[in-house]
Every structure is written in structure tokens, then in C-alpha cells.
Chains A and B, each alone.
Chain A
Amino acid sequence: MAQAYSPGLTVTDSIILKKDRILPLRGTVKVKKGAKVKAENVVAETLLPGKVVPFNLAHKLGVPPELVMQYVKVKAGQNIKKGDLLAETKGIFGMFKAAAKSPIDGEIENISAHTGQMLLREPRIPVQVKAFIDGLVVDVIEEEGVIIENKSAYIQGIFGLGGETIGEIKIIAKSPEEIITPEQVDSSCEGKLIVSGAMISLAIINKAKEMGVKGIITGGIDDHDIKKLLGYNIGVAITGHEKIGLTILVTEGFGKIKMANKTYDLLKQFDGKRASMHGKTQIRAGVMRPEIIIPIEFDESELKVEEAKMATLEIGTTVRIIRQPNFGKLATITALPEELTQVESETWVRIMDAQLDETGKKVTLPRANVEVIED
């Protein structure tokens, strides 16, 4: 078989991207089809229901739950102000009345005769969805959101932490294998997406937070540091919601791994340019990988999203090795033998012969242990 299929991460200086920007609940779309938007622009907004405050009315009035309804002075759905009368008993001959007043501004959500409980809801919370990428609004989904397209330089990471952020790219590491020090993260990094080399430590993350860095892009990261950073072990890889003060995007994997030259060079090419980045990772159905999106000038006629295709392994293809030994190194395929072959662990697998780009050393690898670096 002269070719095989392999999953890979996209790293490219030019891609047509399409992003859905959708509200969590129905709301209002703020932009029109055809509008050019900046990443920071609000494209849709809505009001999320406010926090629910349970209020034990029966207890407050000193009556059994089933009697509560006859004393209630408000209706479900009614707006209320703090101090408004919610319910009042008749008392004895108009004396000894028990009254319940609203502890909050908001509205009445529900009154239950079963439990004697009243649920109050605080005022609605506005939620805004930003464009996240500079681009063109190519479609509007009424009351839900928009679809934005642009042309970008684009890097898919393997793993990330933290949500969406926007900032200028700032190269700190002088080479993709360098390990930067906390001292290199200074006040000039404020608001930036800093590019480190093969590894970042917890000390660097903490220093970056202190300096107001918006994002860190790194080749590798130590799992132990993530545990210390988050205070827990990541079980199933669903990330991007962490509130850690910045966003982290890992391009290669866990441990000290040199950032792929192509990734580093691309970031260097766009040093000082504005980019959008997020750390959302999900490695299961509905897979998501973290992304760096660097918008570039485009003409509307260029906006044609190419049909997705799967990377193929062929002789001459450059691959990245994604398992030990030689983890993280780039190699060029020299042969794709068809028959199953036994590797060191004695496992029989389909293999490839390849040559390491750096040293020229010839290696034999399971096909499953490489990924094609896509253009």
C-alpha cells in the first residue's frame, strides 16, 4: 500500500476559516450579513436568566406548605423589588400578622403549594458573544448568532487550557528548543500572547499572570505543573473552561518537547501581529483542538472553504513522531512496507521507514505513531 491515512494538526500560513459564533440562549444578533467585524466586536447578545434564590415562605409565615397559597400577594412571573410584600397571613382579628418581604430585586419564578417554597429570580444577566476573529459576517442565524469567515495564518495546538483571548504575538524564545526563564517574562509582555520554546514551568505561568500576559504558546508542559496550577488532576480531556487568568496552548505535548520548526517559524513571521487564541480541547466525539488564528488581508472572492481531506502518508511526506522514542522529532518517510513488522515492544504493526530530518538517522516507526503536519 503506497499510502495510508493519518490524523494531523494543521499549521499553515494561509487558510480560509469559518467560525460559528452562537449564543447559549436565543437573543439578538447585533451585526448584519456582509459586515466586516473585528475580533473584539460584539456580534450577538442575550440575557441569561438570573440566579435563583429559594425563599422558604411557609417557614417565614409559620404555616404549613399547603396553606401558603392563600396568603400570597404576588404571582409567578411578576417583577419585584427588594422589600416588596410577598405574602402576609391574616393574623388573629387583624393582629399578629406574619409577613414575608422580598430579599432581592428580580422576579417571582415559582410558588409551590407542595413545598411552601417560593423561588425568586435575580435580574437577568447580559451575555455577549464577540466575533473572536477579524473577518466577514457571511451568514446570520436569526436570534442565535453569526458565521464569520476570514483568511488567516492558522495553528492548531494539541492541548490547551483557558478560554478565548486576543492579543499580539510576542516571541520570547530565540529558538523552538529554548526553555525560557521567568525573568524573560517582563512588563513588556502585558496583554501579549507570548511564544516560549520547548517547555514552560509553573514559575513562568505564575510570572506571566502577574505581568498580565493573555496567552502562552509552548511546545511542551509538565503534567505535574498543570496539576499544581489547577489544583486537580485532569481526568477526561475536556478543557477550555479553566479560570486561570490566561490561556495556554501546547503545540506538541506533555514533557519537554521542542516546538515544531514550522510552528515556531510561522509564529515568528507574525511576531507583533494581533491574533485570536483559545485553549478549548476535547478529545472525544465532537473533537476540539486549541487554535491560534492570525488574520491576514483578504479579498471576499478568496473566501471559499476547501473541503476537508484526510492527510495521507506517502513516501516523501514529512511527519512528526508523536510517541517515544524520538517523540517530537520530524522525519521524512522513505518507505511504507505493506507487511506487518515487529517493533521493539514485540508488537506487530504496520510500519514506515523514515529518516530523521535533524540527524539523517534512519528509523522504523509504527504508522500510528506519526502525524502529518498539514499545510
Chain B
Amino acid sequence: MDRKDKLRRIIATDCGSTTTKAILIEFIDGEYRQTVRGEAPTTVEKPLNDVTNGVINAVTELQELARLKYFDNSITFVKDKVLNITDGDEGIDAYVSTSSAGGGLQMMVTGVVAKMTGESAERAALGAGAIVMDLIASNDKRANHEKIERIRNLRPDMILMAGGVDGGTTKHVAEMAELVGAANPKPRLGSSYKLPVIYAGNNVARDIITETLESKTDLIITDNLRPTLERENLGPARDKIHDLFMEHVMAQAPGYNKLMTWTKGPINGEMKNIPIMPTPAAVGNIMQTIAKRHNIEVLGVDIGGATTDVFSVFTKDYIFNRTVSANLGLSYSISNVLATAGLDNILRWVPFHINESDLRNMIKNKMIRPTTIPQQLEELVLEQAIAKEALKYAFIQHKEFAVGLKGQQKQREISEAFSQSTSGNTIVNMMTLDLLVGSGGVLSHAPRRNQGAMMMIDAFLPEGVTRLAIDSIFMMPQLGVLAEISEKAAAEVFEKDCLIYLGSCIAPVGKIKPDKIALSAEIKLPNGETFKEDIMFGELRLIPLGVGETASAILKPGKGLDIGAGKNQEMETKLHGGVVGLILDTRGRKPFILPTEANIRVPLLKKWMKVLDAYPENILK
């Protein structure tokens, strides 16, 4: 192999909005392994205001740890404040990176009828990862001059305009364009460029829209996102939003342009620049790879400081969907989780009393100092309670958006289109889901893996039999971009070092009375023992079953319940273990209800947390 083709040491970083994470991947004994990791706060703050400082700090940590590991002080990953990509043995052969340090995407959307094209536009924007600052519609009851004032004052990153079905009346979309034109809005990040406006409305109004907005805005025209009343076609608008997000928002992150010149690696024997990949796109890459390699349905979540991304691959056609909940995260956006979920919903997961004011202040302090870590156990429990709600709401948003085939149009009944009560059927089916993967600091860095399992089960409520895994050190983004230069390296590291299987969750679905048997399980464990129990409703059981181990099981759901084979149907299956084991969960699905009264709920939470060994005994007394 030519020297230039060799990839012996690769550094991959992920510049998150809070932390920059670096991993070292090395070719050892004929295979690629992830060996060392380092991290440092992302440096978009003044006075540094340059994302590359955080990269250098994280890589410097890698360098120091690698020197310690190999007792070799000649190892030099950083030279003259730049990554040391060199032919020599002391440096690295390639550097790749993902980034999400640009912060959120703030959009304004317009439509004609708020509940129809307005809602579709909002769905497209939200699905593309935006915070929708306002929906302005012809029928939203505000006077036109108020709408103009509002548009002018918002300063969004971009505007998505929808309205009208193809071939329909143009008057209302034309009027909306006039209002936008009159407001002459400026982009949030600097006035050096025109505000991008995406028009995805009535196709016969395109000329009018162009005439009205072309000179004032950076106008992009795409397919109507609601070509007919009963059909929604969000793909083209979402793609355009995504393109513009890369061009306009992420590129504004300080130092980003410099970082782009650093990422290099050999492709076909030549050193080439490797584009920085947006973090969610890289995670999506890896998720699809897993689904296709193992022929399974996968749901993945990446909960970060500012945003929570949910990815899914469902149906036999491996339909991939991704949503970004731009306002749900555990540091910058933690306060928004409180605003979205409400205090009661967070407190329902907390097994002790806490003063409301203290909790509010704790959340705000985390918001203003986003890189701090819970040192006290109580704060950890609270952060994990907040995480459950953030995950829950991100998943709700995902289910609403993951509808139908990507790139194909979704058929909706005309009656449904008028009632607008639902947004079509989701393709997310928790019963058929095979694997649930969690990543992001709060899941990956949870002190106990059992906490990761608990958060994922409580937030996603998996049904039937579902395997659970955690991205051990939040490596999926880096592996997603690594695949761009070496699929082999990415796949090998993924299989060996990235996913940590937690085990499986077994949960019967359906309504049942509390004093009835919800699940009769007979599980033959590899050590020769058999677990056999008729488990009542409202219980949790944890059965140890190690990584790589399987157990054959006969699962019989309680009367009226379904464990995956149909209502009341017994199922014989093979269960996969993991670092946590098998979790039998009869607390109910569809519905899952936590008692509202604290005197009933708290003892239940404590009981479940004890069974799961989620926290030290002293906090569950």
C-alpha cells in the first residue's frame, strides 16, 4: 500500500454547540480501533470566538493521553496550532470533522390558511430543524400592518412561504409576498447578504412572487408543499431549507471557515479536503448503515445541548426520516424543555421533593453555564428527569413528521385535510422496532448504563421486544463522517467500539386492570437457569443477560394485551442481552400512566428505580 493510502492514525472531531469531542482511530493488528478520546468546551464564546480553539484543545488532550498510553513523547497531533497531518510517524494521516456549532435555525413561515398551507409550511420548517418564530397567514386575524411590523422585527435566518394549491387563486399568496416585501426583513446574522426566502406555494403565482420579492430577497422557488388539498409534499422545501442552513447559518459559526481548510485525508492516493459534515447528517449516515447491514428497523436519538435529533429507519423499504427539535436540549435549550413540558411533567420523574423555585434556578443556571456537570446525585436525577421530557417531546415531533415515503407524496383523505385533526399516519411503529439507539451526553455519559436504559424506556416507551443500545462515547457523528474516507474504518470501529448493547426491553401493550397478570414469561438463560414468572401489571423486572448472550423465551401477554404476535398471542423468541440485561416492563403501554399524586407516584418511582438499579440506594430510601 502506498504511503499516501495508509490510514494508520485518524483524528475525528465533532464540534457540538457545547463540547468539542475528539477521537483517535488507529490501525492496530490488522483492524481499526478507537483508542483515545478527548474533549474541550466549544469555543464560540468571546473572547476566543473561534471554533478551532476548541478543536485544538480537544486534540491536545488526545495527544497527551496518547503519549501517556504509548509512553511516547514524540507523538505530536498539534503542531504550530494546526493539526499535524504528516507522512511521519508522530502525527496523523487524516482529520475529519462534523459540526453543529452554528446554533439553531430560526425561521418564519407564511401560508394562506393557517390550518392548511400554514400548518404544512410549519411542518416543513420544523421537520428541517428550525425553530418557527412565527406563522403568518392571510387569515390569522392580525391586521396587515401588524403582520408587516412583525415580519420586520423578527429577523429570522430565513422565511418559508407557502400558500395556495397548484393552479389555484394567486391573490392571497401575492398579498403575502407584498407584505414580506414591504417589511423588507433582514437576516439575523449580519446584513452582508439578503434574507433567503423559499417560495413553496401555488405554482402559477411564481412569476408574481418573483416580481415582488426577487430584488429584495434571496428568493428560491421550489415545488409547492401542498400541491393539492389532500396531498402534502414537504421534501423539496425541507431540502432547500437544509441547503440554506448550511450556507448561511452554520457558515456563520466563528472559525468555521478556518476549520474547513484543516479537514483532509487521502482519497484514492491523493490528499483531499474532506468537507465538514453537519452532525445530524453524519449520524444519519451511520444509522442507515446499521439498518441495512442487519435488516432491521432502527430508531436513534441524539440529545445535545441545544437540539435533539431523532432518526428512524422504518418499513421494509428502509425509509429514513430525521427530525431536529431545535429547541429541546440539555444546556442552551434546557430552559425551553421546562417551558415546553411544564414543571409538573419534569417533576413526575423525580423520586424526592424539590422546591419549585430551586428547580427553576437550577435549570436557568445550567442554561447560562452550559458546560457544567452535575456533581451532586440529586442534580443528576433532575437532569435525567429533564432529559426524559426532552426526549419524549422530540419523539412526539418525530412521529408527527415521519409520515410516508421520503420523496414521495403522502396521500391524505379529503375529510382529513379539512378537519386537520391529525397530520397523517406516522410510519413509526414501536411494536415492529428492532433497535433503539441513544446518544448524546446525558445518555452516553450517564454514570450507570442502567440510567441510559431507564431514560430511553421512559421517554420512548418501546413496545413488544426491543433491543436497546448506547453510543458509548457519542462517536456516531465522527464515524458518519469517517465513512467518507474509509467505510472499512468506520464499520470496524462502529462494530467494536461504538455501540454498547444495553439489553432488551420487553413490554406488553394494551389496557389492563392493575391487579391482573400482564406478562407470563419463561426465559431460558445461558447459564442453565430459567426465569419464570407471572408478572402483574405495574412492575419492572431486571434479569442479567450479558453482552453477546442470548436467551430463548416464551412470552405470553396478559388478557387483552399484545407482546408482538397479536392480542393474547404467545410468542417464542430469542432475546439479546447487554450490559444492563433484560428489562421486563409491565407498567403499561398505550396507555402508560404515571399516577399524579406524589404520595402514590414517588414510592412507585423508587420501587422501579431500585429494580433497575438506576441510582444508589441512599437517594431511593
Q: Do residues A233 and B379 form an inter-chain contact, with CB atoms below 8 A?
A: no
- B306-333 interface bits toward A, Cβ cutoff 8 Å, 1 = contact, 0 = none: 1000000000000000000001000011
A236-B335, A284-B104, A285-B44 as given contacts; A114 in contact with B371, CB under 8 Å: no
A285-B44, A287-B46, A327-B365 as given contacts; A344 in contact with B377, CB under 8 Å: yes
Residues of A participating in the B interface, judged by any CB pair closer than 8 Å: 1, 5-7, 10, 24-25, 49, 51-54, 65, 109-110, 112, 114-115, 117, 119, 121, 158-159, 222-224, 233-237, 253-255, 281, 283-289, 308-310, 322-325, 327, 338, 342-349, 365-366, 368-369, 371
Some 28 contacts from A to B, beta carbons below 8 A apart, are: A51-B149, A52-B148, A52-B182, A52-B183, A53-B145, A54-B144, A54-B145, A110-B178, A114-B175, A158-B369, A223-B364, A233-B339, A234-B335, A235-B327, A237-B368, A253-B365, A254-B361, A255-B361, A283-B368, A284-B306, A324-B379, A345-B380, A346-B377, A346-B447, A346-B616, A347-B375, A347-B445, A349-B373
Q: Do residues A347 and B374 form an inter-chain contact, with CB atoms below 8 A?
A: yes
Q: Do residues B144 and A286 form an inter-chain contact, with CB atoms below 8 A?
A: no
- Interface residues of B toward A: which range? 35 or more
A233-B338, A286-B254, A322-B372 as given contacts; A254 in contact with B365, CB under 8 Å: yes
Q: Do residues A114 and B365 form an inter-chain contact, with CB atoms below 8 A?
A: no
Interface of A, helix, strand, loop or mixed by DSSP: loop
A222 contact set on B, CB distance < 8 A: 357, 360-361
- B225-260 interface bits toward A, Cβ cutoff 8 Å, 1 = contact, 0 = none: 000000000000000000000000000111000000
Within 8 Å by CB of A323, from B179, B373, B448, lies B373
A236-B104, A236-B333, A287-B44 as given contacts; A253 in contact with B368, CB under 8 Å: yes
A127 to chain B, nearest CB (A): 13
Q: Do residues A285 and B372 form an inter-chain contact, with CB atoms below 8 A?
A: no
Q: Do residues B369 and A253 form an inter-chain contact, with CB atoms below 8 A?
A: yes
Least CB separation from B178: chain A residue: A112
Q: Do residues A365 and B145 form an inter-chain contact, with CB atoms below 8 A?
A: no
Least CB separation from A371: chain B residue: B369
B376 contact set on A, CB distance < 8 A: 324-325, 344-345
Q: Do residues B170 and A51 form an inter-chain contact, with CB atoms below 8 A?
A: no
A48 to chain B, nearest CB (A): 9
B253 contact set on A, CB distance < 8 A: 285
Q: Do residues B336 and A236 form an inter-chain contact, with CB atoms below 8 A?
A: yes
Q: Do residues B375 and A323 form an inter-chain contact, with CB atoms below 8 A?
A: yes
Least CB separation from A156: chain B residue: B46
A49-B184, A237-B335, A346-B616 as given contacts; A368 in contact with B371, CB under 8 Å: yes
Q: In the bound complex, how far is the Cα of B64 from the Cα of A338, in angstroms?
A: 10
B597 contact set on A, CB distance < 8 A: none
Q: Do residues B332 and A114 form an inter-chain contact, with CB atoms below 8 A?
A: no
A234 contact set on B, CB distance < 8 A: 335, 364
Least CB separation from B357: chain A residue: A224
Q: In the bound complex, how far is the Cα of B179 from the Cα of A53, in angstroms?
A: 10
Least CB separation from A241: chain B residue: B153
B369 contact set on A, CB distance < 8 A: 158, 253, 322-323, 371
B41 contact set on A, CB distance < 8 A: 5-7, 368
Q: Do residues A285 and B368 form an inter-chain contact, with CB atoms below 8 A?
A: no
The 7 closest A-B pairs by CB, nearest first: A308-B47, A346-B447, A345-B380, A254-B361, A285-B103, A255-B361, A284-B103
Q: In the bound complex, how far is the Cα of B38 from the Cα of A1, in angstroms?
A: 13
Q: In the bound complex, how far is the Cα of B446 from the Cα of A348, in angstroms?
A: 9
A255 contact set on B, CB distance < 8 A: 357-358, 361-362, 365
B370 contact set on A, CB distance < 8 A: 283
Other 17 A-B pairs with CB < 8 A, given A112-B212, A236-B104: A5-B40, A53-B145, A54-B182, A114-B170, A114-B171, A222-B360, A235-B327, A235-B335, A235-B336, A236-B333, A254-B362, A254-B364, A286-B103, A324-B362, A324-B376, A347-B380, A369-B375
Interface residues of B in 172-194 (CB under 8 A from A): 174-175, 178-179, 181-184, 186, 189, 191
Q: Do residues A223 and B360 form an inter-chain contact, with CB atoms below 8 A?
A: yes
Q: In the bound complex, how far is the Cα of B448 from the Cα of A54, in angstroms?
A: 61
A282 to chain B, nearest CB (A): 9
Q: Do residues B64 and A1 form an inter-chain contact, with CB atoms below 8 A?
A: yes
Residue B34 interfacial (CB < 8 Å) = no
Least CB separation from B336: chain A residue: A235
B13 contact set on A, CB distance < 8 A: none
